[in-house]
Amino acid sequence: MRKEQHHKGWNEIKTNDSWAIFKIMGEFVSGFEKMSAIGPCVSIFGSARTQESDKYYKLAIDIAKSVAEAGYGVITGGGPGIMEAGNRGAHLAGGTSVGLNIDLPFEQHDNPYIDDDKNLDFDYFFVRKVMFVKYSQGFVVMPGGFGTLDELFEAITLIQTNKIGKFPIILVGSHFWEGLFDWVKTTMLQAGNISPQDLDLIKIVDSGKEVVEIIDAFYKGNILSPNF
C-alpha cells in the first residue's frame, strides 16, 4: 500500500511538471517579445540590501546615468538597493529603464524608477537569467551577495564555453572584488582549472567613466545585437 501511495504522489508531481512547461513557455515568449523591442542595453547588478546612503548606491546612479547618456538602456533586477539605483540613474538621464522582477518572499519589490512599459515580472529565476544574458551588451556588477555572484559566474561560464558571444563584464569596486579575483588568479588559474584567456573580458574599475569607455571600446565598429 505504501509503495502504491509513493507511486501515486510521484505521478502527480510528473503531471504538475508537465503543465508547468506551458507557464515557463509563456514567460519566455512574453520576455522575448518585450525585450527584443527595447534595443541595446547594459545590465547593472548588485545587492538589494544596499541603502540609499551607501557610496555604491550613489555610484550605481552615476554609472547608470553615464550608460544611458551613452545611448544604452539600463536593465536591472527591478528591486531595491543597487537595482533601484541603476533604474534611478537611467530615469534621471532620460534613458530606457528596464526592470526584470522576480517573485520572492522577501527583499524584492518594484522600484519606482522603471519605465511603466518595461517592468517585467518572472516566477522562474532561470527564465529571468536568460533575459539578462540574451539582451545585455555588458554586465556591470556592483558589490552584492549570492544572487549577484550567481549572475556574474553564469555569464563567465557561458562565455567560457562559447554558449554565448563575448561581452564586457565590468566589476565596480576594486576594494570589494579584488580579493575574490586574486584568489581566482592565484588558486583556480594556477591549479589549471581555468585558462588565462577566461579572465580577459573581466575588468575591475571604480568609476562610471571607465565603465562606458570599456563598453564603447568593445563595440567600436561592431553591430549591437542579442547575444544568441
* pLDDT at residue 144 in the model: 97
* pLDDT at residue 8 in the model: 60
* Residue 214: strand, helix, or coil: helix
- Which domains can be identified in the chain, with CATH numbers? 2-219 (3.40.50.450)
* pLDDT at residue 19 in the model: 84
pLDDT tens-digit readout, 43-70: 999 999 999 999 999 999 999 999 999 9
Instruction: Tell me the C-alpha distance between 220 and 157, whole Å.
Output: 24
Instruction: Tell me the C-alpha distance between 45 and 91, whole Å.
Output: 17
* pLDDT at residue 192 in the model: 95
Q: The whole model's pTM is what? A: 0.90
* pLDDT at residue 107 in the model: 57
Flag residues of the chain having pLDDT under 50.
none
* pLDDT at residue 225 in the model: 75
* pLDDT at residue 59 in the model: 98
